[in-house]
């Protein structure tokens, strides 16, 4: 779904893109919610990689915040369900001469299973093991307790393959992430010193559910999702529902007869308390390679609807210039990540992420490892290419939902470029679980912006797609390569990495909206 907002207008030429962009950013930051301002790394190598100026903005952040404040829930079904709000980001600061791969994934936010009782979410036990590293076709692999969300297909993307899905567990919390991997000719993907950064928007975290638990979320969905328009205007159903929930305190009112709007303020749920809101660590946090992180309370909702503060601080492992130090106007202060990790400061965080303190070094849990594999994309069962189960994903580093921008020492790919690239991440101590992502190698960037919308819920994203000019790109550069679709493990061998304009989704099929 192409984004047509003027705010996403892009410079037409790389030469003046920077200056124009900077001006534009000033106007857009508030609207979009600047979340990442990649600093220039003190590491010369990284600076050479050209990742220092990358910024990522979450589109419709205000809406996300509304949901987040209440406690975002995403419906998951067998057939798959779109996410709402949609995950839409704008990336700026890309080097016009460099090709990038944008990936998106959804990872477990913690190791807990939740329940919704007494109008609040609370931990009810340990999370169930995630699916092994395998993607599924719609309706497949969605066994007991596991459902999927079907990623939406990019507008204009001639995606003829079954929509892949990411399998998620109901009543579990997840965190979408965005990864930007540099993949140009001089530094092909999978090669040594591959630069990448990961961006996490804490406000996009959600709990997967089979039916909405919090009526406030239902109302927000109805009010904001056009497809739910039919439920707007009258809260008869709400009354009906309330009457049921309140033991006939209200009469059961037929939907067709009730037209009186019920103010949310009068909702019996309006007075709900938010557990641990006071101790919530909702600050968006940057994590930089240079050991600097920043936290901004103002970036996030005032209260944490979830029982524990595992709202991952917005952590960015980015290499930035010292003078920027990962800071943005929305991240007024920063602190050394290693010195004051959320896990160390916040007991709830610690309880939520008991094993996250060893960031970048090891998996939190075995379950986390499985989940990492889970998010690694794999081809549909019928696809001849090997699945991730064949990959030593267990050796992947433990990378919670924080973002990272770094030059990771990745081993050159022995096999096909981009194929099984997740396996190569095993050697990169800082490489997140990139497999379950939608990636997108930017075309020859005449544009320094890249916008991608991810609309989906949960599902394995088994397909690596290459969305060319007709894949939802509004004003495709004339020099774009033709669109091609790639299996995550079956990349056409005739293509070199830098020829791609691909969407590798292991988790979601983002809708690309790339302005140029």
* Interaction residues for DNA, span 333-392 (CB under 7 A): none
Partner residues linked to 450 by β-bridges = 91
Member of 27, 126, 244, 322 binding DNA (CB under 7 A): 244
Residues 426-455: x/- map of binding to DNA (CB under 7 A)? -----------------------------x
The closest alpha carbon to 172, from 126, 218, 137, 216, belongs to 126
Query: What backbone phi and psi angles, to 5 degrees, belong to 321?
Result: -70, 150
In terms of DSSP bridges, do strands 87-92 and 120-126 run parallel, antiparallel, or are they unpaired?
A: unpaired
Residue 161 CB, shortest distance to DNA, in Å, is 14
What mask, x for binding DNA by CB under 7 A, covers residues 97 to 116? ------------------x-
Is 77 a residue that touches DNA (CB under 7 A)?
yes
Query: According to CB under 7 A, which one of 78, 192, 321, 415 is a site residue for DNA?
Result: 78
Ranges of H-type helices in 207-360: 215-224, 236-245, 342-345, 347-352
Match 């101590």 to its residue by tokens: 429
Q: Using CB under 7 A, pick the residue from 63, 161, 228, 416 that binds DNA.
A: 228
Rounded to whole angstroms, the Cα distance separating 397 from 414 reads 20
C-alpha–C-alpha distance, residues 117 and 99, integer Å: 48
Distance between CA 188 and CA 193 in Å, rounded? 9
> Is residue 474 at the binding interface for DNA, with CB under 7 A as the rule?
no
How many CB atoms within 10 Å of residue 247? 7
Binding segment (CB under 7 A) for DNA, from list 79-87, 322-330, 431-439, 444-452 = 79-87
Whole-number Å distance between alpha carbons of 270 and 481? 52
Which ranges in 376-500 belong to alpha helices (H)?
Answer: 421-424
| Residue found by looking up tokens 């949901």 in the block | 67
Collapse the DSSP code of 180 into the 3-class scheme (helix H, G, I; strand E, B; otherwise coil) and give the result.
strand
**Closer residue to DNA in complex, CB, 238/289:** 238
Contact between 209 and DNA (CB under 7 A)?
Answer: yes
User: In angstroms, rounded to a whole number, what is the distance separating the alpha carbons of residues 376 and 132?
Assistant: 9
What secondary structure letter does DSSP report for 396? S
Applying CB under 7 A, the site for DNA has a residue count of 37
7 is a site residue for DNA (CB under 7 A): no
Build a one-symbol-per-residue string for 33-72: x at contacts with DNA by CB under 7 A, - elsewhere: ----------------------------------------
DSSP letter at 384?
S
Binding segment toward DNA, per CB under 7 A, in 88-96, 238-246, 295-303, 316-324: 238-246
Is the Cβ–Cβ distance between 200 and 177 less than 8 Å? yes
Does 145 bind DNA (CB under 7 A)? Our answer is yes
Pick the stretch among 40-48, 144-152, 404-412, 414-422 that binds DNA (CB under 7 A).
144-152
234 binds DNA (CB under 7 A): no
Helix/strand/coil (H, E, C) string of 282-306? CCEEEEECCCEEEEEHHHCCCCCCC
161 versus 228: smaller Cβ distance to DNA: 228
Using CB under 7 A, which of 104, 195, 222, 300 touches DNA? Answer: 222
Contact pick of 3, 60, 238, 311 for DNA (by CB under 7 A):
238
225 makes contact with DNA (CB under 7 A): yes
Nearer to DNA by Cβ, of 216 and 320: the residue is: 216
* Strand pairing category for 403-408 and 194-200: antiparallel
- Binds DNA (CB under 7 A): choice among 241, 261, 321, 415: 241
Region near DNA per CB under 7 A, out of 36-44, 205-213, 379-387, 404-412: 205-213
Rounded distance between C-alpha atoms, residue 368 and residue 320, angstroms: 29
Which range of residues in 94-102, 209-217, 345-353, 358-366 is near DNA by CB under 7 A?
209-217
Interface pattern 454-473 for DNA (x via CB under 7 A): -x------------------
| Bridging pattern class, strands 316-317 and 403-408 | parallel
For 153, the token pair is 């297909």
Stretch that binds DNA, among 215-223, 294-302, 417-425, 459-467 (CB under 7 A): 215-223
Q: Is the dihedral of CA 416, 419, 423, 428 positive or negative?
A: positive
- Distance in angstroms between the alpha carbons of the first and the last residue of the chain: 15
Gap between the Cα atoms of 188 and 195, Å rounded: 10
Judged by CB under 7 A, the stretch of 49-57, 77-85, 366-374, 397-405 that binds DNA is 77-85
CB contact set of 439 (below 8 Å; sequence gap of 6+): 101, 102, 103, 104, 179, 181, 464, 502, 503, 504, 505
The interface mask with DNA, positions 146-185, x = CB under 7 A, is -x--x-x-----------------xx--------------
Minimum Å gap between C-beta 418 and DNA is 27
Among 37, 82, 317, 465, binds DNA (CB under 7 A): 82
Is residue 255 a contact residue for DNA (CB under 7 A)?
A: yes
Residue 206 phi/psi, 5-degree rounding, is -150, 165
Contact between 261 and DNA per CB under 7 A: no
Q: How far is the CB of 227 from DNA (least distance, A)?
A: 3
Which residues in this chain contact DNA in the complex, by CB under 7 A?
75, 77-78, 81-82, 84, 115, 124, 142, 145, 147, 150, 152, 170-171, 209-212, 215, 218, 221-222, 225-231, 237-238, 240-241, 244, 255, 455
């Amino acid at each position: 779904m192409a984004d047509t907002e003027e705010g996403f207008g892009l410079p037409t030429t790389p030469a003046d893109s920077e200056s124009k962009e900077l001006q534009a950013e000033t106007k857009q930051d508030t609207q979009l919610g600047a979340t990442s301002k990649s600093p220039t790394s003190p590491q010369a190598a990284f600076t050479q990689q050209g990742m220092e100026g990358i910024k990522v903005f979450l589109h419709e952040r205000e809406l996300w915040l509304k949901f987040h404040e209440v406690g975002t829930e995403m419906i998951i079904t067998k057939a798959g369900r779109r996410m709402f709000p949609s995950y839409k980001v704008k990336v700026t600061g890309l080097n016009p001469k460099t090709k990038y791969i944008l990936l998106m994934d959804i990872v477990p936010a913690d190791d807990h299973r939740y329940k919704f009782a007494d109008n609040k979410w609370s931990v009810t036990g340990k999370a169930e093991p995630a699916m092994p590293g395998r993607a599924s076709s719609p309706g497949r692999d969605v066994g007991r307790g596991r459902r999927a969300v079907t990623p939406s297909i990019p507008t204009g993307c001639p995606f003829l393959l079954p929509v892949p899905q990411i399998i998620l567990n109901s009543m579990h919390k997840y965190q979408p992430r965005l990864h930007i991997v540099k993949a140009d000719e001089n530094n092909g993907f999978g090669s040594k010193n591959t630069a990448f950064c990961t961006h996490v928007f804490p406000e996009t975290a959600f709990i997967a559910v089979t039916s909405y638990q919090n009526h406030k979320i239902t109302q927000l969905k109805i009010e904001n999702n056009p497809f739910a328009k039919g439920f707007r205007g009258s809260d008869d159903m709400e009354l009906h529902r309330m009457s049921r929930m309140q033991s006939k305190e209200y009469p059961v009112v037929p939907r067709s007869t009730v037209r009186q709007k019920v103010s949310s303020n009068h909702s019996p749920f309006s007075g709900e308390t938010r557990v641990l809101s006071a101790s919530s660590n909702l600050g968006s946090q940057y994590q930089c390679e240079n050991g600097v992180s920043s936290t901004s309370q103002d970036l996030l909702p005032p209260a944490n609807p979830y029982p524990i503060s595992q709202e991952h601080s917005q952590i960015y492992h980015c290499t930035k210039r010292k003078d920027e130090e990962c800071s943005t106007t929305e991240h007024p202060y920063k602190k050394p990540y290693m010195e004051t990790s959320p896990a160390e400061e916040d007991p709830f965080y610690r309880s939520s992420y008991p094993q996250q303190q060893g960031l970048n070094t090891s998996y939190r849990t075995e379950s986390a490892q499985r989940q990492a594999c889970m998010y690694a994309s794999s081809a549909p069962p019928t696809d001849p290419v090997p699945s991730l189960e064949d990959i030593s994903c267990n050796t992947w580093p433990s990378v919670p939902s924080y973002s990272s921008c770094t030059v990771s020492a990745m081993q050159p790919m022995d096999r096909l470029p981009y194929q099984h690239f997740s396996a190569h991440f095993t050697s990169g101590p800082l490489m997140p679980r990139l497999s379950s992502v939608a990636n997108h190698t930017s075309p020859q960037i005449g544009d320094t912006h890249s916008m991608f919308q991810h609309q989906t819920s949960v599902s394995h994203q088994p397909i690596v797609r290459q969305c060319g000019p007709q894949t939802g790109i509004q004003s495709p550069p004339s020099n774009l390569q033709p669109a091609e679709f790639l299996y995550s493990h079956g990349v056409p061998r005739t293509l070199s990495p830098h020829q791609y304009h691909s969407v590798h989704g292991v988790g979601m099929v983002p809708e690309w909206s790339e302005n140029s």
